[in-house]
């Protein structure tokens, strides 16, 4: 039975475990992996609020989406993804970064209901929650429901590759909702290698930033992974610079620098090359696409996709 809670509140979202292979079986269902911002929607006291996965209030930032969710029942909590769609209807993270110039492209796709009319459904199975979601969220401009595929994992994978999409989310039908946990009942599989990295420094240019220096955490230590220049255009160079310049620090945040040599592919950051860098406190994240991880734990053929502010930098580790 669902439990009663007096008022709805922010609930830390359940996380997906990165997976090399897509799990299969009668209990597994699949959704498209959407390239956007995770949003938890809370309606209480007649007011709708939008929260990032870290609990940051984004209500005023996405006013059209907020208004479109006004029909939600009171004391309701919905989990979903905010995306910006390009002209072909595909999620485009760069477009989301500049949503003010393309407000009509914004869509919030709901994929789970955690609380409805004060009833807590997090202990119910996913299959039950999906039934409740359909009767709770009304699709309209800026709001939709994430579609569940009835294809096999291989068919779903082929569809994603053919249409140039980011990846697949697999979820067990019998999974309960585990706030803040990454238990493996939900998994994500990316077709193109891409993940978040922590910005720990940059190489300056007349546009602000020539390249960014990124890394991932191992325990409490930040490890250098690459310098990224591709994908940075004049507009994003200035945006990145304006975001990270207040964080400048004299101390290099990477524990594995300097390196002895540049390595086979030239990704190494030696003491000499470090002279070009300006260090920043590791508080800002960048989404980066890449070809592969090398044996030296560096990235090859990187491309900047966009800045992110919806995750805790300390949670950014190397994904499988």
The residues carrying an active-site annotation are 33
- The beta strands (E) that lie in the chain are given as 3-4, 17-18, 28-33, 37-44, 47-51, 76-84, 106-116, 119-120, 143-145, 167-172, 186-190, 194-205, 208-218, 221-228, 248-249, 278-289, 292-293, 299-300, 303-308
Please state the length of the chain.
320
Provide φ and ψ at 103, rounded to 5°: -60, -35
Token pair of 290 as six digits = 């890449």
Token pair of 302 as six digits = 């990187």
Partners of 195 in the β-ladder: 288
Give me Rg for the CA atoms of the chain: 21
Residue found by looking up tokens 């809670």 in the block = 5
Partners of 17 in the β-ladder: 187
């Amino acid at each position: 039975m669902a439990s009663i809670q007096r008022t709805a509140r922010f609930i830390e979202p359940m996380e997906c475990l990165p997976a090399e292979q897509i799990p299969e079986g009668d209990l597994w269902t699949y959704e498209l992996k959407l390239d956007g911002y995770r949003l938890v929607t809370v309606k209480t006291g007649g007011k709708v609020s939008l929260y990032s996965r870290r609990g940051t209030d984004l209500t005023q930032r996405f006013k059209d989406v907020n208004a479109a969710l006004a029909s939600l029942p009171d004391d309701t909590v919905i989990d979903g993804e905010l995306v910006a769609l390009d002209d072909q209807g595909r999620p485009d993270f760069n477009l989301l970064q500049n949503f003010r110039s393309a407000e009509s492209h914004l869509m919030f796709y709901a994929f789970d209901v955690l609380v409805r009319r004060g009833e807590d459904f997090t202990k119910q199975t996913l299959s039950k929650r999906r039934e409740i979601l359909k009767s709770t969220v009304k699709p309209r401009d800026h709001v939709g429901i994430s579609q569940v595929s009835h294809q096999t994992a291989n068919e779903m994978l082929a569809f994603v590759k053919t249409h140039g999409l980011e990846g697949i989310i697999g979820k067990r039908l019998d999974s309960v909702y585990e706030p803040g946990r990454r238990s493996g009942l939900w998994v994500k599989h990316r077709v193109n290698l891409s993940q978040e990295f922590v910005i720990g420094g940059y190489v300056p240019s007349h546009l602000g930033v020539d390249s960014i220096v990124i890394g991932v955490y191992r325990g409490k230590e930040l490890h250098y992974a690459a310098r990224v220049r591709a994908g940075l255009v004049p507009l994003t160079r200035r945006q990145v610079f304006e975001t990270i310049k207040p964080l400048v620090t004299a101390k290099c945040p990477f524990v594995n620098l300097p390196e002895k040599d540049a390595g086979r592919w030239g990704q190494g950051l030696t003491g000499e090359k470090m002279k070009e860098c300006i260090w920043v406190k590791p508080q800002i994240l960048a989404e980066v696409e890449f070809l592969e991880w090398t044996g030296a734990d560096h990235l090859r053929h990187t491309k900047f996709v966009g800045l992110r502010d919806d995750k805790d930098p300390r949670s950014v580790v190397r994904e499988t």
